[in-house]
């Protein structure tokens, strides 16, 4: 049998026609079965699609709802923006992962139906905010999880954090109370913190929290409870619309006519690239209205940096750049981009975003999501700062005179090791330790007594001199006394202030004896050296000869003879002397 190309094509067409007839014949049956299945499993299908949407949301992948399904916008293999719905295909996985800066491995881990999220983690989303709840975690994991959540955000946002914690009673260890993370009473920041760059995450959030004492941020139902552990936290992320590129924004006259600001006409959402093109274009005759070629070159460079194929349609339809995306723009053009805003009513200029990168600085003024180029930020702010000593002047002339006449002076701040005006009493023990070459001795007081009075105000209206009237008198009614040695707390209440003070000082005297004995035991070795070197006079020892000096051998004989009173009394006097 010989091969015939004509016969082959004829058979191919015949097979296609048969397949089409079979498809049309069975179409109604298949549609009916599919509809029956959808009706039967409607809730399950809806829940599965919702889960897929939340998984995409967790990865910061923007899904668009179309009918009952979701689509994801990606850049196709031809360079055009297209929508894909079947993200289980390997080709579409790679496109989605590339478009949203997610590794294929991470994408495949989160998207399968059998994926189980961390039981200690809960994700909630809304139209303008999202929250991430972590429960039952170790304190060491707090900063890592916080930074992971914030660093995956794709646009500028505000953030606040609520803490979940457990309290335990000071008297009953079984009495515990748990407080759920809630911004109403367990917030970390008084108001949400604006994040305008990746550097703000560490500078404004991580570093600030590390410098805080988180226990002070918590609410306690009463003084009878203490913190057991911080076991949960909830991150609240508020999405913001702060993209630079609104060419339809109306610029007020006060900004439009400012000679220190350049407003580029007809930017078509690419005002940031206009600012970059103007800043990098080296020409004495450059005109803000004639830099389209430089803007295109800057845009092509950005596309190459992002791995995107440049097309004219992409250039025309390019979306505004979010404030958080300026980190990539900085790395692309090797520029440090600072963004400012101006209050039209007052003319005050405030910093929105300050670059921490060591590139050449470029300043942008943001007004209603439109970017304008700032020629000189000092002149716009009417503040002139010396780059050497950081002094600020109200005019450029004064700054010039300062640089010419005074800025060469080097200001050295010196701090004296010892006070020059206030002369505190000399520390006796420190001088004695130096005198007798005693090193590595702990000469600090370990224990102390504190007290707190509660008083009522008694109206008096007593005239004191010509111009002063005493309106009230403090009458003490209670006092609390605590000490660090026994860790005991005593509260005294009495209507008679004299009896109240007598009870207070009697208790303080009893505790002072215990602390004094502790100090004598602690400084025993030092006391022995001091007594051997200086001796004790009879005037310091009760019942002893006042003209005689006693040595340590005499003290030991007192102890052996059972006369501890002499030793304790003399030692306590020495301790009080050298510690004051």
pLDDT in tens, 211-232: 888 877 888 888 888 888 888 8
Q: Per the structure block, which two tokens stand in for 564?
A: 């501890």
User: Is residue 147 predicted with pLDDT exceeding 60?
Assistant: yes
Please give the full DSSP string across 423-452, using - where no structure is assigned. Answer: -PPP-HHHHHHHHTT--S---S----EEEE
Same domain, 212 and 300: no
Question: Can you tell me whether residue 513 is helix, strand or coil?
Answer: helix
Residue 310 lies in a domain: yes
Please give the full DSSP string across 339-394, using - where no structure is assigned. Answer: EEEE-TTT--EEEEE---SSSEEEEEEEETTEEEEES-HHHHHT-EE-TTT--EES
Same domain, 433 and 564: yes
Q: Following CA atoms 330, 336, 339, 340 in sequence, which dihedral angle do they give, to the nearest 10 degrees?
A: -170
Same domain, 441 and 567: yes
- Alpha-carbon separation of residue 416 from 419, 423, 425, 427 (angstroms): 7, 13, 17, 18
- Give the pLDDT of residue 238: 92
Q: Average per-residue pLDDT in the chain?
A: 79
Same domain, 104 and 127: no
Residue 488 lies in a domain: no
Same domain, 183 and 97: no
Mean pLDDT in residue range 415-429 = 68
Same domain, 105 and 193: no
Confidence of residue 115 (pLDDT cuts 50, 70, 90): very low
Q: Which residue has the higher pLDDT, 542 or 301?
A: 301
Could you tell me what percent of the chain has a pLDDT over 70? Answer: 78
Beta strand 360-367 with 335-342: parallel, antiparallel or unpaired? Answer: parallel
Q: Which residue has the higher pLDDT, 89 or 245?
A: 245
Residue 326 lies in a domain: yes
Confidence of residue 89 (pLDDT cuts 50, 70, 90): confident
Residue 307 lies in a domain: yes
Q: Which residue has the higher pLDDT, 299 or 383?
A: 299
Q: What is the pLDDT of residues 485-532, one digit of tens each?
A: 888 899 999 988 899 999 999 999 889 888 888 877 777 777 777 777
Mean pLDDT in residue range 265-280 = 87
DSSP annotation of 1: -
Same domain, 79 and 6: no
> How many structural domains are present in the chain?
5
Estimate the crossing angle of helix 564-579 against helix 552-560, to 10 degrees: 140
Q: What is the pLDDT of residues 24-64, one digit of tens each?
A: 777 777 777 767 766 666 666 566 666 666 667 767 777 77
H or E segment and range at residue 293: helix 292-306
How far is 33 from 35, CA to CA, in rounded Å? 5
Comparing 180-194, 439-453, 506-520, 531-545, which segment has the lowest mean pLDDT?
Answer: 531-545
- Give the pLDDT of residue 126: 80
Confidence of residue 1 (pLDDT cuts 50, 70, 90): low
Q: Which residue has the higher pLDDT, 203 or 467?
A: 203
User: Is residue 466 predicted with pLDDT exceeding 80?
Assistant: no
Choose one of 110, 133, 150: the last residue of a domain.
110
User: Is residue 283 predicted with pLDDT exceeding 60?
Assistant: yes
Pair 340, 323: CB distance under 8 Å: no
Same domain, 527 and 439: yes
Same domain, 253 and 274: yes
| Alpha carbon of residue 51 to chain centroid | 31
Query: Hey, which residues does 468 pair with through a beta bridge?
Result: 464
Q: Which residue has the higher pLDDT, 440 or 211?
A: 211
| Alpha carbon of residue 317 to chain centroid | 37
Choose one of 54, 81, 110: the last residue of a domain.
110
Burial class of 380 by CB neighbour count within 10 A (0 to 12, 13 to 18, 19+): buried
How far is 503 from 492, CA to CA, in rounded Å? 7
- Give the pLDDT of residue 159: 94
Same domain, 566 and 446: yes
Same domain, 156 and 99: no
Residue 464 lies in a domain: no
Residue in the block written with tokens 């894909």? 84
Residue 513 lies in a domain: yes
Q: Per the structure block, which two tokens stand in for 217?
A: 């941020």
Pair 382, 258: CB distance under 8 Å: no
Comparing 15-19, 33-37, 230-234, 463-467, which segment has the lowest mean pLDDT?
Answer: 33-37
- Give the pLDDT of residue 450: 92
- Give the pLDDT of residue 572: 55
Could you tell me what percent of the chain has a pLDDT over 90? Answer: 11
How far is 507 from 511, CA to CA, in rounded Å? 6
Beta strand 121-125 with 81-84: parallel, antiparallel or unpaired? Answer: unpaired
Entry pTM: 0.53
The range of the structural domain enclosing residue 254 comes to 247-382
Choose one of 110, 140, 168: the last residue of a domain.
110
Q: What is the pLDDT of residues 54-65, one digit of tens each?
A: 667 767 777 776
Comparing 8-12, 66-70, 232-236, 366-370, which segment has the lowest mean pLDDT?
Answer: 66-70
Same domain, 289 and 338: yes
Residue 396 lies in a domain: no
């Amino acid at each position: 049998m010989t091969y015939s190309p004509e016969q082959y094509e004829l058979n191919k067409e015949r097979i296609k026609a048969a397949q089409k007839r079979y498809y049309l014949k069975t179409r109604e049956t298949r549609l009916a079965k599919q509809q029956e299945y959808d009706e039967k499993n409607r809730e399950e299908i809806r829940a599965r699609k919702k889960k897929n949407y939340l998984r995409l949301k967790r990865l910061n992948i923007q899904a668009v709802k179309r009918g009952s399904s979701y689509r994801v916008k990606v850049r196709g293999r031809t360079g055009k923006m297209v929508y894909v719905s079947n993200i289980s295909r390997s080709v579409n996985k790679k496109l989605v992962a590339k478009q949203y800066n997610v590794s294929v491995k991470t994408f495949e881990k989160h998207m399968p139906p059998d994926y189980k999220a961390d039981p200690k983690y809960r994700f909630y989303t809304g139209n303008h905010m999202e929250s991430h709840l972590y429960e039952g975690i170790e304190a060491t994991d707090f900063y890592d999880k916080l930074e992971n959540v914030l660093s995956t955000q794709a646009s500028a946002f505000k953030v606040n954090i609520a803490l979940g914690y457990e309290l335990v009673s000071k008297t009953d260890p079984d009495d515990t109370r748990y407080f759920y993370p809630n911004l109403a009473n367990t917030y970390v920041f008084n108001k949400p913190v604006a994040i305008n760059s990746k550097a703000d995450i560490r500078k404004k959030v991580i570093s600030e929290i590390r410098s805080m004492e988180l226990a002070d941020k918590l609410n306690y139902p009463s003084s009878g409870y203490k913190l057991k552990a911080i076991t949960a936290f909830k991150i609240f992320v508020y999405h913001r619309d702060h993209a630079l590129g609104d060419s339809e924004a109306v610029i007020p006259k006060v900004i439009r006519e400012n000679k220190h600001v350049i407003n580029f006409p007809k930017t078509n959402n690419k005002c940031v690239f206009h600012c970059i093109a103007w800043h990098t274009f080296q020409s004495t005759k450059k005109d803000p209205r004639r830099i389209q070629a430089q803007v295109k070159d800057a845009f092509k460079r950005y596309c190459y940096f992002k791995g995107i194929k440049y097309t004219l349609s992409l250039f025309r339809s390019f979306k505004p750049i979010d404030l958080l995306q300026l980190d990539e723009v900085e790395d692309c053009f090797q520029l440090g981009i600072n963004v400012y805003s101006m209050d039209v009513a007052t003319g005050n200029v405030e910093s929105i975003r300050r670059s921490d990168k060591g590139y050449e600085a470029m300043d942008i003024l943001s007004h209603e999501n439109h970017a304008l180029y700032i020629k000189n930020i000092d002149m716009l702010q009417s503040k002139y700062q010396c780059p050497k000593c950081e002094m600020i002047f109200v005019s450029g002339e004064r700054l010039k005179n300062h640089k010419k006449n005074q800025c060469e002076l080097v200001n050295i701040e010196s701090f004296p090791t010892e006070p020059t005006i206030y002369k505190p009493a000399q520390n006796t023990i420190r001088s004695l330790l130096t005198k007798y070459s005693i090193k590595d001795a702990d000469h600090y007081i370990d224990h102390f007594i504190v007290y707190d009075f509660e008083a009522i105000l008694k109206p008096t209206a007593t005239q004191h001199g010509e111009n002063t009237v005493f309106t009230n008198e403090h009458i003490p009614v209670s006092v609390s006394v605590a000490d660090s040695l026994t860790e005991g707390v005593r509260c005294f209440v009495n209507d008679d202030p004299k009896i109240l003070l007598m009870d207070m000082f009697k208790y303080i005297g009893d505790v002072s004896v215990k602390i004094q004995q502790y100090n004598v035991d602690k400084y025993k070795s030092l006391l022995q050296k001091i007594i051997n070197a200086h001796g004790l006079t009879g005037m310091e020892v009760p019942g002893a000869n006042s003209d005689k000096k006693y040595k340590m051998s005499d003290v030991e004989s007192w102890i052996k003879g059972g006369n501890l009173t002499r030793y304790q009394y003399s030692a306590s006097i020495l301790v009080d002397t050298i510690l004051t």
